[in-house]
Structure 1
Amino acid sequence: MPVVLTLAISAAGGGIAMLMGLPAGWLMGGALAVTVAAMMGAPVAMPDGLRNVVFVLIGMSMGASVAPDSLTLLSSWPISLAALAVELVIIVAATGWMLTKVFKLDPGTAYLSSFPGHLSFVLGIAATGVGNSRQIVIIQVIRILMLTIAVPIGSVFLPIDHFAAPVKGAYLNPLQLVLLAAGCIAVGLVFMRLKVPAGMVLGAMAAATAAKLGGLYTEAMPTPLVVATFILTGALIGSRFVGITRKEFMAAATGGLIATAMTVSIVTLMALGVAQLVDMPFGQIWLGLSPGALEGMGALGIALGYDTAFIAAHHVIRLLMLSFAIPAVVMLIRWQERRATINE
């Protein structure tokens, strides 16, 4: 059965990464293993129903990992949010220009590939005839995969501080888990109904966070459930390579890797600047400013011991900014195309 095989591959890859002592090994190893399997033609699959389960589990885990003093740190967020806005402009302008001039991609493909996030929105616009959707998918998925791999490795070799997961004194019991999951699903469905980006993840996190800050529970998520969440998330990330042939991958991989390297460099410089102004771990700032998928960066935040409220808030704002920026850039591309046609 493809789903069982996919989860087994993710678990095996994650287990190997953990044995190697890599931080966030279950997540990073699983994502890489499933990606390789998908590229080799293995019957990898993650049905929509299971993906929603993953989103709920990630949201629950992020909410349960919120630091009790998160609200007291809000005063320092405007600095990082301003950096986020500047960073987005630089990333889109620089990587879009590079993909157009160096790799000769058409402007639609280049700039839709350069947007750091909102993949479903980007692909929806590509489906209307703007850019090459297959190339866009490859470049965007490479970005997500490389960030998932790069952050834990960077936390080992670079001065990116991370914390061991705190020792838990108590864990949520089965009844608490069922009640919390029901609340997370309900709020997630409301968020999806309201067309909130990443609605199920954000809705589940909002419910779990509100319940924790409201004193309804103080216990942690059971460790086996957290490990299962990482395995499922790794499988989800890797499964995005299904249907992409090796020829297609190689055609767009170089541009995707360079664009990702540029993006990581820009994020790192911005995070270094913000770290000089706020009293926060550099790694936490980096994950908040990173252009990875919310579910992937949120899971990494949990694995590395960071404040998930800070990370999630910045990713929500990033998605909101992109909701306005993507249509604006597409309109500009269309205008330039029409003007070029008239001049011809």
Structure 2
Amino acid sequence: MPNLRQYWLVTLIVGALGGSLANWAGWPLPWVIGALVAVMLTRCAGSLVPEIPHGRQVGQLIVAVAIGCHFTLPVMQQVASHLGLILFAVLLTLVLAVCSVLILHRWGVPFGTGLFALMPANSSEMVHLGRQRQADTRFIAAAHSIRLLLILLTVPAVATFGMPQVVAHAPLPVIWPWLIFILAMAWLAALGFKHCKLPNPWTFGPFLICAVGVGCNNLSMSMPGWLSGCGQLLIGCALGVAFDRSFLRRAPALLSKVLVLLTGSVITTAMAAWALGAGLGMPWLSLALGMMPGSAPEMSLTAEALGLAVTLVTAMQVIRMLVIQAACLPLFRLLDRTAQVQAPASANSA
């Protein structure tokens, strides 16, 4: 069998064609969603186009720097003033995830598998933790793929087409010396985060470097649209290669249960964001994008396209990821111990 990895350029071409078509059609996040759908359909049709070497990492780094350019000093001060709201929203998201895990466990899925499958955190980290605890890693990986696919195909579209058209602001200038320097430092930060085994190193490391660099130097700058689009294209291609025919045939009954729970979680999150926004007099859609159990880059890019509070959405997504990542193992130990105690009690009463 030939080595398919050498044909990664085909993947890039397929993704670029899909992104171009989505951009022509006016679809939200065209270079992410168009590339994702094109590569996914190509693989499900039987053509196993391979993963682009280091494509996801490069794409995450570029998009993280593009988002970090929004974090000027005044904006960071505004985010700090809403820290209590951000933490409350993150805890609410965590509670919704735990409820979904408990329901999935009641439906017959082993507790550890259900927990690591439905926690809205980094998928590779959840697979790693599940493997250490003898959980079904194939199911965990599939559940996270469904989560990202569901949110990327629905949330940006509903947010975009359900919102009135916003007036596009003139883009900030591109300060090339600063941008090149920040990109280089972002790459070093990502390597450092990876060496220290921190979560999402290619997103959090570059984002932190860019936010600190822009905020501390009071810069007003942006990334050129073509470079940000290249990063989004690479991310879309990387997400698309997670799907193929075998994925669609993998435990359809279990995956359908995950899809039902995730859909309910997305709807409940939107309703909670609307209630919070109405009570606090804040734009509920910004809160909804910040609370969605999706991926920080894509939700932040959606907020940017709609003219919403990009920094608030990004801060909520980043803090959500960190809190859930930190709480995952303590929750597993606590809830697994509780389930083990309840099981013998139920057997004795029977």
TM-score, shorter chain, exceeding 0.5 = yes
- Letter in structure 2 aligned against 1:191: F
SS in 2 for 1:276: helix
Does structure 2 retain, via aligned residues, the 8 Å contact 1:138–1:252? no
Contact 2:90/2:320 (CA < 8 Å) preserved in 1? yes
Contact 2:32 2:235 in 1 (8 A): yes
1:198 alignment partner in structure 2: 200
In structure 2, the residue corresponding to 1:54 is in which secondary structure? helix
Q: Once the 2 structures are TM-superposed, how far is the Cα of residue 172 of structure 1 from its aligned partner?
A: 3.4
What are the superposed Cα offsets for residues 286-317 of structure 1, whole Å, 9 maximum, x if unpaired? 12111112233233334333443322322232
Q: Does 1:3 align with 2:8?
A: yes
Deviation of 1:205 (Å)? 1.2
1:137 is aligned to: 141
Q: Give the gaps of 5 or more residues in structure 2.
A: 1-5
Q: How far apart in 2 are the matches of 1:279 and 1:48?
A: 46
The question of 1:89 aligning with 2:95 is answered yes
Alignment-mate amino acid for residue 151 of structure 2: L
Q: Which amino acid aligns with 2:118?
A: S
Pairs within 5 Å for 1:283-302? 283-302=285-304
* Superimposed CA distance per residue, residues 11-36 of structure 1 (whole angstroms, 9 cap, x where no aligned partner): 22222222222222222222222222
SS in 1 for 2:40: helix
- Counterparts of 1:261-272 in structure 2, within 5 Å, are 261-272=263-274
Q: Which residue of 1 aligns with 2:54?
A: 49
Count of residues paired in the alignment: 340
Task: Indicate which of 210, 218, 231 corresponds to 2:212.
Answer: 210
CA shift for structure 1 position 124: 1.1
Check conservation: 1:15, 1:29, Cα contact below 8 A.
yes
Given that 1:294 and 1:315 are in contact with CA atoms closer than 8 Å, whether structure 2 keeps it comes out as yes
Q: 3-state DSSP class of the match of 1:292?
A: coil
Shift of the 254–338 alpha-carbon distance from structure 1 to 2, 3 Å rule, reads closer
Query: What do the CA deviations read for 1:315-336 (whole angstroms, capped 9, x no partner)?
Result: 2322232234321232245435
In the TM superposition, what whole-angstrom CA distance separates every residue of 1:70-94 from its partner, at most 9, and x where no partner exists? 124222231232122023112321x
Shift of 1:337: 6.6
- Kindly tell me: are residues 8 and 323 of structure 1, through their superposed partners in 2, closer, same or farther at Cα, counting changes over 3 Å? same
Q: Which moved more, 1:39-48 or 1:202-211?
A: 39-48
Over the aligned positions, Cα root-mean-square deviation in angstroms equals: 2.7
Q: Which amino acid aligns with 1:335?
A: R
Shift of 1:236: 1.9
Alpha carbons of 1:245 and 1:231: their partners in 2 closer, same or farther (altered >3 Å)?
Answer: same
Whole-Å separation in 1 of the counterparts to 2:209 and 2:40: 32
Aligned to 2:3: none
Output the CA distance in 1 between the equivalents of 2:254 and 2:10: 28
Alpha-carbon distance in structure 1 between the residues aligned to 2:205 and 2:152:
23
- Distance change >3 Å, CA 111–CA 134, structure 1 → 2: same
Is the CA contact (8 Å cut-off) linking 1:91 and 1:266 kept in structure 2?
Answer: no
Q: Relative to structure 1, is the Cα distance of residues 249 and 57 closer, same or farther in structure 2, using a 3 angstrom cutoff? A: farther
CA deviation after TM superposition for structure 1 residue 66, in Å: 3.3
Q: Contact between 1:139 and 1:256, CA under 8 Å: does it hold in 2? A: yes
Aligned mates of 2:102, 2:60 — CA distance in 1 = 34
1:194 Cα deviation (Å)? 3.3
- Residue 183 of structure 2 corresponds to 181
Q: 1:101 maps to what in 2? A: 106
With over 3 angstroms needed to count, the CA separation of the structure-2 counterparts of 1:332 and 1:239, relative to structure 1, is: same
Amino acid at match of 2:97: I
**Where do 1:116-195 residues align within 5 Å?**
116-159=120-163, 163=166, 165-168=168-171, 170-173=173-176, 175-195=177-197
Q: Distance in 2 between matches of 1:271 and 1:162?
A: 21
* TM-score relative to the length of structure 2: 0.86
Q: Partner amino acid for 1:181?
A: L
Q: In 2, are the aligned partners of 1:38 and 1:44 still within 8 Å (CA)?
A: yes
Question: Using the alignment, how far apart are the partners of 1:170 and 1:319 within structure 2?
Answer: 31
Aligned residue identity for 1:311: V
Equivalent residue number for residue 18 of structure 2: 13
